[in-house]
Amino acid sequence: MKSALTGDAAGLPTAAGSDGRPAPLAWFAGMMDHCYDYAEAAKSQGRPIVGIMCEFTPREIILAAGAVPVCLCGGSAATIPAAEQFLPANLCPLIKSTFGYHVTGKNPFLNWADLVVAETACDGKKKMFELMSATKPMYILELPQKADDPDALEHWTAEVRKFKDYMDQRFHTHITDAKLRDAARLMNRERALRRQLADLLTLDSPPLTGRQLSEFKSIISGIEEDLQQYERAIQLFRANPAPSGTARPQIRVLLTGVPIVHGAERVLELIENAGAVVVAQENCTGLKPILDDVDADGPDPLRAIARKYYHLPCSVMTPNTRRLDTLRSLAAKFRPHCVIELIWQACLTYDVESFHVRKLAAEELLLPHLKITTDYSPSDSARISARLEALFETIRARRAL
Amino acid sequence: MICAGIDVGSRAIKAVLFDTERREILASGLAAQGVAQERLAADLFDSLLKNARLERPCVSGIVATGYGRHAIRFADTTVTEITCHARGVYWLAPDARSVIEIGGQDSKVIGLENGGRVRDFAMNDRCAAGTGRFLEMVAARLEMDWDKLAQLGRQGTKPAQISNICAVFAETEIIGLLAEGAPLPDVVAGVQNAIATRVAALAGRLLSPPVYFTGGVALLPGMARALEEVLACPVQVSPRPQFTGALGAALSAAATPTSAG
């Protein structure tokens, strides 16, 4: 069961450090196994497991309740046929994969979950959760969509407060401001460490690839060993920068769009196999949710938590100008040669919003833009590679790289 | 210097020998695609050399393109068909600003900038509805060859409405139309319109005139007219439409520094 969720180790070095601990890359290559052990131990100690499927869900509330927040997003094509018995084929593969795990019972974290938070961040997930709720305890967290409307933020704050009250009642806890502040500090620490790692790719010769960086994550937040391994990785990469000026200059890619869940890294690999490096990912499995922190020391920690999460620049918000601002600042910082946008099939909000991203790239950032619409099946890999190679040929011809 | 381009397409392998000093095509040829792609390409290459009275060592660079480009180990390097078609069409028609290429399994639209470089491009995804494969399927269903198909398409007066979303469903639509007694020329014209509409959706922002049409499907006379109607702009068939990819590959070989020996 444990290995069912373990993805490829992406060919990463696995040698142990001099202190006998596994090297950071090797540690995160075993991320699923560590999360399994952690959740199993937590469960046996009576800690509730709470499944989430969206970065809008404030993990701080779950942590402050003494529970374990686990990301349940599915990244496997193998569970999709089981899901399609219940869901339409023309639906986002992330939703189908997640629901497929539910149908087949192959995600131990979902099986253990005492509660699943059903975010209304996308219509596909929202209606899928209705099907899942037949057999899974569920709490619906309603997300308003007007990003800059103060009333909408008030409504969201009330939703987060209701969620906190529900957690107290459901798990017989008492979430105090002090507990919320502690949880926010822990999450801030995790976000800051992951930001520092991501910032290594601002270098002209990054010491790690975008694919390697994508290994540095955990489906369970706040595990102390993970945080220490992030720290070690930062030290290690800072001490061993990549040799510069040796190889042909790499094409730098700013990747934006849908989340790339563990196991669904195919397009990321195709990009880097075509001779580029993904220097920044503006998506929910990359930088998007870790750019801002929670003000843990302000007068109202719950309000501070609600505000941080509400301002996530997801395509479900309208108008989603914060995403374009984020892309502007990432482009200035990471100096990409092009913008590649990944859209999962039937993700309408990202697909339509692509119009604005293309316009931003062409008219303001002055960068070529390529949109890739696909799902979890590898059948179009050769076609995607041809488009990537053509894009990189164009960039090399123009910039004489 | 003599360079070679080999375009390994889904239906045919095309090759071009190009003399960079005299700026002319020395030989070109085509072979049907098969299982042993590399051997078929090598045989074709050798036959071109023989026609041009040359030996392999005379060729300073070989570039492979097309979906099977990575299978050609005797090539020095590979370049995508998008770059190659742009280069090939631009060499034959230097006024070109856009290229529509429809091949056996691909359709693509390429916007050119000054110097014939690719500005932007779009390509079909997982569906064959806008490609030559769709036409072949229709020809087989209607039990006629390529020439007869073109001839019929030109006679259509009221093109039938046919789905441009899925080639497989379109085939069942065609069976339905025939059962209802729709005139054959209208069905064929409808198929051409469906392909043209599909390509037009790809074209969108990319198209600026003059537009050149290349790839094997450009040989079908009715197709350029169908594209003109849907795009509402003149579409010229490129000279030597089946060979622009291989020519672009040969020109790429000439431009590659490592092969300038």
The residues, any chain, with a CB within 8 Å of residue A396's CB and separated by 6 or more, are: A251
Kindly indicate the confidence band of residue A124, based on its pLDDT and cuts at 50, 70 and 90. Answer: very high
Q: Does A142 touch chain B (CB under 8 A)?
A: no
Q: Is residue A40 part of a domain?
A: yes
Residue B181 above 70 pLDDT?
A: yes
Residue of chain A whose Cα is closest to the Cα of B114: A398
Contact B125 A398 (CB under 8 A): no
pLDDT at A134: 96
Contact A380 B125 (CB under 8 A): yes
Q: What is the pLDDT of residues B219-258, one digit of tens each?
A: 988 899 999 999 999 999 999 999 999 999 999 999 875 4
E-only strand ranges, B82-196: 98-102, 107-112, 118-123
Omega prior to B210 cis, within 30 of 0? yes
Q: What is the pLDDT of residue A18?
A: 58
Split at pLDDT 50, 70, 90, the class of A1 is very low
Q: Strand A115-119 to strand B118-123: parallel, antiparallel, or no bridges (unpaired)?
A: unpaired
A272, B102, B124, B210, B229 from B233: Cα distances, Å: 39, 18, 21, 9, 7
Q: Does residue A37 belong to any structural domain of this protein?
A: yes
Band (pLDDT 50/70/90 cuts) for residue A249 is confident
Residue A10: the pLDDT is 41
pLDDT at B25: 96
Give, in degrees to the nearest 5, the angle at Cα A183 between A182 and A185: 65
Look at residue B171 in the predicted model and tell me its pLDDT.
Answer: 82
Q: What is the mean pLDDT of residues B38-67?
A: 96
Q: Best interface-test mutation with B: which of A393, A395, A399 has the largest number of B CBs within 10 A?
A: A393
Residues of chain A with Cβ-Cβ distance to B79 below 8 Å are: 393
Residue A224 belongs to a domain: no
Name the residue facing B82 among A373, A374, A390 (closest C-beta).
Answer: A390
pLDDT at position A17 is 55
Mean per-residue pLDDT for A310-314? 97
The residue with tokens 């209701």 is A162
* Range in A144-158, A266-280, B99-113 with the lowest mean pLDDT: B99-113
Is B78 in contact with B65 (CB distance < 8 Å)?
Answer: yes
Q: pLDDT confidence of A53, banded at 50, 70, 90?
A: very high
pLDDT of B58 strictly over 60: yes
State the first-to-last Cα distance of chain A, in angstroms, to the nearest integer.
47
| Domain extent at residue A27 | 2-175
Residues in a beta bridge with A50: A69, A115
Which residues 343-372 of chain A have a CB within 8 Å of chain B? 368
Specify if A66 maps to a domain. yes
Residue A75: inside a domain:
yes
- Predicted complex ipTM: 0.89
Q: B258 at the A interface (CB within 8 A)? A: no
Edge to edge, the sheet with strand A251-257 lists: A276-282, A251-257, A338-344, A369-374
Q: Can you give the pLDDT at residue A11?
A: 39
The predicted pLDDT at position B239 comes to: 96
Pairing status of strand B24-32 against strand B12-19: antiparallel
Q: What is the pLDDT of residue A12?
A: 42
Nearest to A394 among B81, B118, B126 (CB): B118
CA distance B126 to chain A (A): 6
- Average pLDDT over chain B, rounded to an integer: 90
Give the C-alpha separation, A272 to A253, whole Å. 9
Range with lowest mean pLDDT among A14-28, B14-28, B52-66, B206-220: A14-28
Place of tokens 């604005």: A356
Which of B79, B119, B125 lies closest to A373 in CB terms? B125
Regarding predicted confidence, which is higher, A242 or B222?
A: B222
Residues above pLDDT 90, as percent of chain A: 90
With an 8 Å Cβ cutoff, are A386 and B121 in contact? no
Residues of A in contact with B82 (CB under 8 A): 386-387, 390, 393
Tell me: pLDDT of A20 over 90.
no
Contact B125 A374 (CB under 8 A): yes
> Which residues in chain B have Cβ-Cβ distances shorter than 8 Å to A368?
120
Q: What average pLDDT score do residues B177-199 get? A: 90
CA distance B82 to chain A (A): 6
Tell me if A60 is assigned to some domain: yes
Q: Tell whether the model's pLDDT for residue A9 goes beyond 60.
A: no
A295/B contact by beta carbon, under 8 A: no
Is residue B120 within 8 angstroms of chain A, CB to CB?
yes
DSSP string, A298-361: SS-HHHHHHHHHHT---TTSSS-HHHHHHHHHHHHHH--SEEEEEEETT-HHHHHHHHHHHHII
Is A382 touching B (CB cutoff 8 A)?
A: yes
pLDDT by residue (tens digit) across B32-41? 999 999 999 9
- Residue A351 in any domain: the answer is no
* pLDDT band per the 50, 70, 90 thresholds, residue A244: low
pLDDT tens digit string along A316-333?
A: 999 999 999 999 999 999
Q: Quote the pLDDT of residue B256.
A: 73
User: Which tokens in the block code for residue B236?
Assistant: 């010229």
| Mean pLDDT, rounded, for B64-93 | 96
Q: What is the mean pLDDT of residues B12-26?
A: 96
A398 to chain B, closest Cα gap in Å: 8
Predicted pLDDT at A374: 96
Give the pLDDT confidence score for residue A14 in this predicted structure. Answer: 45
Write out chain B residues lying below 8 Å of A389, CB-based. Answer: 80
Query: How many domains are there within chain A?
Result: 1
Residue A387 has pLDDT above 50, yes or no: yes
Residue B259: is its pLDDT beyond 80? no
Per-residue confidence (pLDDT) for residue A152, from 0 to 100: 98
What mean pLDDT, rounded, does chain A reach?
93
What CATH number should be reported for the domain holding residue A156? 3.40.50.11890
- Delineate the domains of chain B, giving CATH numbers in brackets: 1-93+242-261 (3.30.420.40), 95-238 (3.30.420.40)
In a domain, A382, yes or no: no
